[in-house]
Structure 1
Amino acid sequence: MIRARALQATFAALATALLPATIAVAAPAPTPAPIDYAALGDSYSSGTGIGEYRPDSGDCRRSDSAYPALWAGSHTVGTFSFKACSGATTQDVRSGQLNVLNDRTGLVTLTAGGNDVGFSDILRSCVFPASDASCDAAVNAGINYANRTLPGRLDGLYQDIKAKAPKAKVVVLGYPRLFERDVCPFSFSLHKRDSLNRGADELDRVIAARAQSAGFTFANPTSRFAGHGICGRDPWINQLNVADPVESYHPDGDGHARGYLPTLNSATGRAGDHVGG
């Protein structure tokens, strides 16, 4: 009888000791503080290619289905400043988009550099009836610019962002490869597709190096888009659109929702908690 009472007393003591830990485990996680988010950059951030745009965005072609708007809609956001604009160069971002940044900004995302190297001109140089050689020349000129001139332009842009938003986490996103290597008789030759993909890889390499040098996070979407380029079975990138050429060679809604958004989520964390500095 004495032994039974001793056991009861021991169990009661253990239960009392474990109770606070049990309560602590069961307590709900705190709600993250709202974050001020600024989305900067060019057409790959504005959502050009999706086809439906904010009425007030004009030629910037900002879409509520673009990855910045999707991220803002699925996270705890205090303010969302959507400034990305179709056609923007690094200089355009510096001169026209940074006014939304301040010391309360917690997250900045951007794509920039593609227009500096001549994205549209390179593609025009590769469209039929251009030869493989002329396409290679255009791609190589873009790569040369990316290696010689673009680093200084990116450094200047990144320095400005750091100065205006010193507490922000900055995620610089790259560009996907545009093409798959599947049989594709009505598109670019395989040689041109390989050349253009090589240019995209080189551009991403340069941007990644400068972003990391600035202390920013580089998020590469290439693996997310693998198998979903033009000529693939399930493309997330638009073919040539003769009726609206600006839409051409840009990610569609799936490209943003299934390609860019998961890429950004991986860089900010699943819930996007505490992404600010």
Structure 2
Amino acid sequence: MARRRTAEMVAAGALGVALALTVLATGTLDRVSCATLAVACAEEGPAARRLPQPRRLSPQEAALSGAYIALGDSFSSGEGVYDETERPIDAGAGLCHRSRGSYVPQIAGSLRFAGGASFWACAGATTVHLLKGQHGHKPQISRVGPAASLVTVSIGGNDAGFTDVLKECILRLPWSDGCTEQEAVVRRRVAGMTPNLRQVLLEIRRRAPEARIIVLGYPRPFPAAPADRVDNLTPDDQRWVNRMARFLNDASREVVAEVDRAIATFGGPGSAEFVDAYDAFDGHEIGRGSPYMNALDVDVEQLKVYSRSYHPTAGGYRRLGELVAAQISAGPGRPLNNLLLP
């Protein structure tokens, strides 16, 4: 009798497994469960079974959903319009020459970021400074946290040594090649900068995995076809400086694109985007009327070269702000995987 009862139990179990597989395959599990166990019972019809779906955020929605963090060098800090006589914008602004005239306050004031905005760019910063610190301040990268939805940064010009390059160009004897003969050095410096830029972007990504990262390139300082000597620079010198700015921008663009491809390949949220500012000052270069970049500014009596030299003017920072605002709206040129959950 016991053996007969055991056989019946095994047969019933096998029948149950077969029935379960059948209802899974035919999609009738919900109906069986509702009829026998009073679970999974719902109204009939497609609308009743449709679950709430997450919505993909637009580029601007993704950027504004959290905090805006502004990092970078003097082209972000506002060096070109920094005024030592004005009240500093914040406690560290004096050493870093952060100015209200930079594009950063323009962006922060014209858009409403859910998590607010903070401004940490510092004149003279290199990629290493972003990672390790500068003037005794915490590293700029440490200001980035998971609440960040937008991070802007301009970096690389100091790694390439453009300040020293321009000094050499300006101070050389008029008949020498002391300007253009620096090309090999500049190219080596830029090649050394690219791994650091990649590390900066990946570290921002690690700290703010859903943020859009916008890297702002550098404008060419001189006309595309210069005709006259400017600040002891011949037209050939000016064209060469422009080419070096393009070389730096192209190297940065490649690194940014590489990081963004990795984000897109794995379907991650956020992005890495490059803003090409090379022609941004077209018609307003040094040597033209209403320039968007300061020419060499020297106090002859004190033999002092002002740091605003070869940095954007107020009009230049407004133009850079327009480019960044347009990029915020346009996005990376691919769908973002930033989702709004129901």
- TM-score band w.r.t. shorter chain: 0.7 to 0.9
- Report SS of the residue matched to 1:205: helix
| Shift in alpha-carbon separation, 1:124–1:225, aligned structure 2, 3 A | same
Q: TM-score, normalised by structure 1?
A: 0.81
Q: How many Å apart are 1:266 and its aligned residue?
A: 1.7
**1:129-174 deviations in Å (ceiling 9; x for gaps):** 445521112233112321x312111111111111111110000000
Structure label with greater radius of gyration: 2
| Shift in alpha-carbon separation, 1:229–1:139, aligned structure 2, 3 A | farther
Q: Distance in 2 between matches of 1:66 and 1:184?
A: 30
Q: Are 2:99 and 1:63 equivalent residues in the alignment?
A: yes
- Note if contact 1:54-1:62 (Cα within 8 Å) is conserved in structure 2: no
Match of 1:101 in 2: 144
Match of 1:73 in 2: 109
Amino acid at match of 1:87: G
Match of 2:125 in 1: 88
- Note if contact 1:169-1:276 (Cα within 8 Å) is conserved in structure 2: no
**1:65-104 deviations in Å (ceiling 9; x for gaps):** 1011100000002321100000000010112101221111
Q: Are 2:69 and 1:38 equivalent residues in the alignment?
A: yes
- Note if contact 1:151-1:210 (Cα within 8 Å) is conserved in structure 2: yes
Q: Distance in 1 between matches of 2:247 and 2:329?
A: 27
- Note if contact 1:41-1:93 (Cα within 8 Å) is conserved in structure 2: yes
Match of 2:241 in 1: 196
Amino acid at match of 1:39: A
* 4+ runs deviating over 6 angstroms: none
Please list, as runs of the form range in 1=range in 2, the aligned pairs for 1:14-33 lying within 5 A after superposition. none
- Note if contact 2:168-2:178 (Cα within 8 Å) is conserved in structure 1: yes
Q: Are 2:265 and 1:220 equivalent residues in the alignment?
A: no
Identity of aligned residues (%): 30
1:254 equivalent among 307, 310, 315: 315
2:203 equivalent among 160, 168, 187: 160
- Note if contact 1:126-1:132 (Cα within 8 Å) is conserved in structure 2: no
| Shift in alpha-carbon separation, 1:270–1:218, aligned structure 2, 3 A | closer
Please list, as runs of the form range in 1=range in 2, the aligned pairs for 1:169-180 lying within 5 A after superposition. 169-180=212-223
**1:30-57 deviations in Å (ceiling 9; x for gaps):** x966531000010000010113366130
**1:181-216 deviations in Å (ceiling 9; x for gaps):** 444345221011011000000000000000111111
Q: How many Å apart are 1:223 and its aligned residue?
A: 2.5
Q: Out of 71-80 and 236-245, give the one that drifted further.
A: 236-245
Q: Distance in 2 between matches of 1:276 and 1:178?
A: 37
Q: Distance in 1 between matches of 2:213 and 2:80?
A: 24
- Report SS of the residue matched to 1:214: helix
Amino acid at match of 1:102: G
Q: Distance in 2 between matches of 1:66 and 1:252?
A: 9
Q: TM-score, normalised by structure 2?
A: 0.67
| Aligned pairs, number | 243
Q: Distance in 1 between matches of 2:253 and 2:87?
A: 30
Which residues of structure 2 form unaligned runs of 5+? 1-59, 133-138, 261-271, 300-304
Which residues of structure 1 form unaligned runs of 5+? 1-30
Match of 1:18 in 2: none
| Shift in alpha-carbon separation, 1:54–1:99, aligned structure 2, 3 A | farther
Q: Distance in 1 between matches of 2:156 and 2:259?
A: 15
Match of 1:235 in 2: 291
- Note if contact 1:108-1:169 (Cα within 8 Å) is conserved in structure 2: yes
Q: Are 2:234 and 1:208 equivalent residues in the alignment?
A: no
- Report SS of the residue matched to 2:178: helix
- Note if contact 1:39-1:83 (Cα within 8 Å) is conserved in structure 2: yes
